[in-house]
Every structure is written in C-alpha cells, then in structure tokens.
Structure 1
Amino acid sequence: MSFYTSLSGLKASQTDLSTISNNVSNAGSVGFKRSRAVFGDLFAASPTQSTKTVAGQGVRLNGITQQFAQGTLESTGKTLDVAIAGEGFFVVRGQPPRSDVSFTRNGVFGLNSNREVIDTLGSKVQLLPVDANGNITSTAIGSMLDFQVPAFDPANPTAVLANISIANSGLVTATFANGNTLNLGSMAMASFTNNEGLRPIGDAHWQATGDSGNPQINGAGQGPMGEVRSGLLERANVDLTEELVSLIGAQRNFQANAQAIETANTLTQTIINLQV
C-alpha cells in the first residue's frame, strides 16, 4: 500500500512542478495569469472499520486553477497597445468561417491588410456601437462590430487619418487632417461570474464554459469591467521569488516521496530474504 501512496505523491509533485515551471516560463508573457495546482487527500474505509486504524491512501489532483489577479502595467507608448485596469476581458472574434468569440487580456493589437485591428492570434478586436456623443447604443453580442481604422474621413475622402485615440472609457476616436473627428465605437468588454471556470486556449485567451457562465458584455468602467489604458500592456502576474520558493517545496516533496518508495522497497526486500 505504501508504494501506491507514495506513487500518488510523486505524481502530485510532478504536476506541481509542471504547473510552477509553466508559471516561471511565462513570466514575460503579456497578460498571462499564473496557475496553481490544488490537491486533496484520498481516504477510504468500510462501514465496519474504525477510522482510527486506517491510514490515508495518498493524494489526488483536484484541479489546476488560474489566478486572475491584476498584473503590472508597463508603458509602451503605442496607441494600439491596450491594457485593462480591472477584471474585464477584451472581446475578439476569429477569422471566418468559424468566427468564434474568445476573450483576452493580451492587448498587443495591430493592423492587418484590411486595416482591421487584430490581436496576436489574428482575431479581430470587437467594438460596441456608439452614437455621435460616444454613448453605447447596444451591448448585445450580435451588435458588436469589427474594430476597423479608416484611412480617410468618410465625409471628405481627401482628408487622411491623422490620429487614433482610445479613452479610458474605451471610446475609440479617429481624428483626420481636416480636424474632423469620428467615434468608431467603444471597446467591447466582458466579465464572468466565475473567471476560474474559463477555458484557456493559449496566448492569454480564454473561451466561456458552463462553469464560467455566459459573458456579460458592456463598455469599460461598467461594473467590474475596469478601465482601458492605451499605450500600456499588462505583464504576467507571476512573482518569480514566490514561484522559486514553491519550486523548492515541490522538489522536496518529490524527493521525500521517492525516498518513501525506496524505504518500502528495502523493507519488502528484507522480508523476502528472511530465512526460517
């Protein structure tokens, strides 16, 4: 029995080491959220047994949960580098034919050949429609529109684009050489009842699941969404000092379980070699 108990400990320590290693390796990834392995003990006894005479039977992995604490904001000076100061997520839509919606904290955005604003996976950043005063007119998922940067003033094709600005409220405004301005929309933001229930798909992107609940779509500054900060990026919320200490602890746990297996093996060998 001690073999299997210690073996479960070895597997748990290996999972813990893998989780910590992933955190450390992504310390420089934009928008990355650290993970933590959660374990629980194994115990079994028959109804007629006294639990005072039954030892535990090892450990099992309950799950690996992501920690959505705020990361440090770092200045880049680029307008389309955007960070969130709060709990929200940017909403992006994949390329056709799937056009699947996902949610990200990675605000490294840029332009494609169609002047659409895309993220690092090539998904198109979504905006909510606004009126002439910049007020959001709809928060329905079906009303979202692609973030597209115009090259010219729609009212005067001879006036080229001079500047794009993104306010803390998420309002995106284009300014043209003739002085005219145009509100393109407000950056679509999403929040969830249970962030830990989101399904990670890589590059600080997630998809909604039954555990996370349906996304609540709104503009920045509404409820838990947080504010949008243009010219900044959110760094990974990984504390290397804390991770290295945890790494040492996981390594010691692995060594202790390996030693327990070795000790059990020695005892078993001694019993087998006993001579009557």
Structure 2
Amino acid sequence: MSFNIALSGIAAAQKDLNTTANNIANVNTIGFKESRAEFADVYANSIFSNGNTAVGGGATTTHVAQQFQQGSLLFTNNSLDMAISGGGFFVTSSEAGSQDHSFTRAGAFKVNSESFMTDSAGNYLQGFPVDADGNSTSVSLTTTQPIKIPDTAGSPVKTGNVGFQMNLNVGDEELDPANFDPDDADTYNNSTSVTIYDSLGEAHILTTYFVKPEGGSHTGENNWVAFYAVDGEQVDIDAPTGGTYKTDTNGDGDADSTATAENASGWKGSVLTFNDAGTYTGSDPAVVSTVALGSNGAGVIGTGADGSQKVNIDFNNPTQYASPFEVTELTQDGTTVGRLTNVGVGDDGLVTASYSNGSTVPLARVALVRFSNEQGLTQVGNTSWKASLDSGPALAGEANSGTFGSIRSSALEQSNVDLTTELVDLISAQRNFQANSRTLEVNNTLNQTVLQIR
C-alpha cells in the first residue's frame, strides 16, 4: 500500500514538473496560455470500514487547467499583426470554405500567395462580410469567410465632372482674351490643373486658364474668361460659340457692348460673372462642358478609349476678392486601377485596404468568438484550440462590442507565463519528487528489514 502511495506522489510530482517545463518552454510563444496541474487525494472507504482510521491512497492528477488571463502586448511594425485586448478568440480554418474552425489568441498574420490572410501554419483568418460602408452584414459563425486582400481595386472610371473652388484676384491686370496663348504666361492671369482619367484609366491633365478681360468690369459686374486644355492641347467648350459677356468699351463705367470668350485662333472659353461684392452669380454657358475629347472632338485621348467622353466643369461658388489667386477645392470623379498601398485594421476589427487611386475599400470585419467555459477548450497545438462539450459552442461577435475585447493592430499578445513564478514552481515540484522518492526508499528499507527477520 505504502509503495503505491509513494508512486502516486512521484507521478503527481512528475506531472507538475512536466506542466511547469512546458510553460517555461513556451515563455516566448505568441498567444500561449500557461497551464496549471491540479491534484486531488485518493481516498477509498466502505460501509464496513472504520473511517476514523482509514488512510488515503495517495494523489492523482484531476486536471491540467489552462489559464486564460491576458498576456502583455508586444508592438510591431506589421499592420497585419493583431492582438485582442480583452476577451475573445480569432477564428481560423485549415481550408478556404471549411467550417472546421480553430480558435487562437496568436495574431501573427500575413498574406499568402493567393492574397488571403493566414497564420504561420497556413490557416485562413475568418471575417464577417461587410457592405460598402463597412457595416457587417452578418455576425454568424457559419457566414464567416477567409479574409482576402486584393492587389487591385475596381475598374477604371472615366472622369465626367470636375469641381473648382477658388478666389480670383480683383486687382489683377486686364488682358485681351484674343491674345490668349497657353505658352505665353503674359497672356493669362492664373491657371490651375487637375488629373482626369479616360475610360481605360489613363491619366490626363486638365488645365484651366483664367483671363481678366479688358472692359469686362463695369458698374455692379465683373467678368472672367476661362480657357481649357487637356495635356496642353486646346479643348473648346461644347457650345456654338464661346461664352459672352458685357464690356465697357468707352470707359464710362457702363456696359455698352458684348464680347465673346474666344482667342484669335478660335479657342472657345467660358465666362464667369461676379457681382460688386465678389460673389459668383453664374457662368456662360450656364452649364460648362467640354467638347468630346476623342478624335471626333478635341482629339486629346487615345483611339482605344471612349472618344465621346466629355467633362463638365462645375465652379463651386468661387469668389473675386482683393486677395491673391488661391484654389481651395479641386475635385474630379474618375478613377484609374488602384494598386494596394496599405492595409489597416480598426479597433472594431474592420479591415480596410487603401489603393493608389485614392480609394479606401472595407474588406471584412475580423470575427471573434467566446465560450462559456474557456478552460474546457481542447488544445490542438500551434497555440490553437477547438470547441468541446465542456467549453460549450462558440459564440460569435464583433470586436469592441459586448464582452468582446478590442483589436490592437500592429501588436501581438505575448505568452502569459510568469517566468519567475514558474522557476519557483519548478523548485517546489523537484522537492516534492525528491520527498516521494525518499518515501519509496524508506518503504523499501522497511521491507528489507522484515524479510531479514529469522
């Protein structure tokens, strides 16, 4: 009997040593959770035995319990590294489309050859689908999908509208629009440029030139002429003639004739009109649009693109004050094919990709799960767990909501092993092993003594 008791003590001490050694071995393992060996005494009794004199039968291991307290965060320079600050687990699957999920706190993710986010073992990180505004369309674990980060964004969109907001200096010199020449800076007052795109996504430069015309300012009204060019080539406005404006030809302060916004070579422009408070009152024509940019119009874009493309020019409440020329807003609605430039992950798990065409696309929301009993999870290696009957089913949800923690991008959760405590436990387990070994040795000596009685 005493031999068995000593052997059970040695086995328990050995289990304690193994558990502590495993904790120490994984002190630098990202997302690792330490374990604790738990023991109970062995006691047998029956209705015919004397409970007052019964002796226990030794010790047994009841459970190697995992400890899921938060590990400290290690900050990195990789935006795909993620750590959960609070409760929850990441969801992974071994194959795309598989519902055989594993759960982990190790957030060292990367992009594989197919642009999917995976861990070091090649498991796919799962996310909830989102709409164009980044809102989750479902938070069910069965609807999660592997998160993919496309290298490109969308198809090219030709520019249809360009918006300007600026101030034109009322004190600028008056010039004759008939002399306008884009190659001679003395023939116009100011210019500004914006990049536009054709139907194939090729970039072009739309330049607008502003001329303060001679006689264009008179009682209560001020006029400016705007000419347009694409890639330095003349582009007329889509009107039979250039815009018109009233002029003061005799210098008496009153409008006495009409002039056309056109230079000597027939380059047609539009007219912007301001009142005596410098407020924009309209343009001529009322809707400013270029002629077709293809070969049947201005001929400034390639034959492979949509030759009927026109660009509407919207002057968004410009001003004419006694201050320098300044552009305060410059917009256009076309895009080219975007190349991936950056990936970001928000506190709520929303994964967004930024592209070279200026677009930011929400891709997915990182799925998190929790369990009623975390210690009931089954360890499967690679710092991952699977659900079991003891843990209960996985309950999915979004980060930063309810009992789920927030996601910290560019950070990793370190092992929660306290090395100092583990070394003390190692010494304690060693002493227990030695003590039980000594018990076994004493029992052996007593048996030898009995056997030698004659």
Partner residue of 1:48?
Answer: 48
Quick one: distance in 2 between partners of 1:89 and 1:133?
25
Quick one: distance in 2 between partners of 1:169 and 1:141?
17
The structure showing larger relative contact order (alpha-carbon pairs under 8 Å, at least 6 residues apart) is: 1
4+ residue runs of structure 1 moved beyond 3 angstroms? 96-99
Partner residue of 1:185?
Answer: 364
Q: Say if 2:376 is the partner of 1:207.
A: no
Quick one: distance in 2 between partners of 1:5 and 1:272?
21
Deviations 1:107-155 (A, max 9, x none): 1101111011101111111110122332222111221121111111124
CA displacement at 1:57 relative to structure 2: 0.6
Q: Which one-letter code corresponds to 1:89 in the other structure? A: F
Quick one: distance in 2 between partners of 1:274 and 1:114?
80
Partner residue of 1:68?
Answer: 68
Deviation larger for 263-272 or 147-156: 147-156
Quick one: distance in 1 between partners of 2:60 and 2:342?
55
Q: Say if 2:448 is the partner of 1:273.
A: no
Q: Which one-letter code corresponds to 2:134 in the other structure? A: G
CA displacement at 1:161 relative to structure 2: 1.1
Partner residue of 2:14?
Answer: 14
Structure-1-length-normalised TM-score: 0.97
Quick one: distance in 2 between partners of 1:32 and 1:183?
30
CA displacement at 1:98 relative to structure 2: 6.0
Partner residue of 1:173?
Answer: 352
Aligned residues: 275
Partner residue of 1:112?
Answer: 112
Quick one: distance in 1 between partners of 2:128 and 2:429?
46
Q: Secondary structure at the match of 1:52?
A: coil
Identify if the C-alpha distance between structure 1 residues 187 and 97 changes in structure 2 by more than 3 Å, giving closer, same or farther: closer
Larger radius of gyration: 2
Deviation larger for 200-209 or 15-24: 200-209
Partner residue of 2:133?
Answer: 133
Percentage of pairs with the same residue: 43
Deviations 1:250-275 (A, max 9, x none): 00000000000100110111111012
CA displacement at 1:189 relative to structure 2: 0.4
Quick one: distance in 2 between partners of 1:20 and 1:74?
23
CA displacement at 1:100 relative to structure 2: 2.0
Quick one: distance in 1 between partners of 2:126 and 2:51?
57
Quick one: distance in 2 between partners of 1:161 and 1:115?
11
Structure-2-length-normalised TM-score: 0.59
Q: Say if 2:357 is the partner of 1:161.
A: no
Quick one: distance in 2 between partners of 1:98 and 1:160?
30
Quick one: distance in 2 between partners of 1:197 and 1:94?
22
Quick one: distance in 2 between partners of 1:223 and 1:61?
36
Consecutive unaligned residues of structure 1, counting only runs of 5 or more, are: none
Deviation larger for 150-159 or 252-261: 150-159
Deviations 1:56-88 (A, max 9, x none): 110111011100000010011100111110120
Partner residue of 1:85?
Answer: 85
Quick one: distance in 2 between partners of 1:171 and 1:97?
20
CA displacement at 1:96 relative to structure 2: 6.0
Quick one: distance in 2 between partners of 1:152 and 1:97?
23
Deviations 1:161-184 (A, max 9, x none): 111100011011111111111110
Q: Which one-letter code corresponds to 1:219 in the other structure? A: E
CA displacement at 1:50 relative to structure 2: 2.0
Quick one: distance in 2 between partners of 1:142 and 1:254?
49
Deviation larger for 115-124 or 15-24: 115-124
CA displacement at 1:99 relative to structure 2: 5.6
Identify if the C-alpha distance between structure 1 residues 254 and 53 changes in structure 2 by more than 3 Å, giving closer, same or farther: same
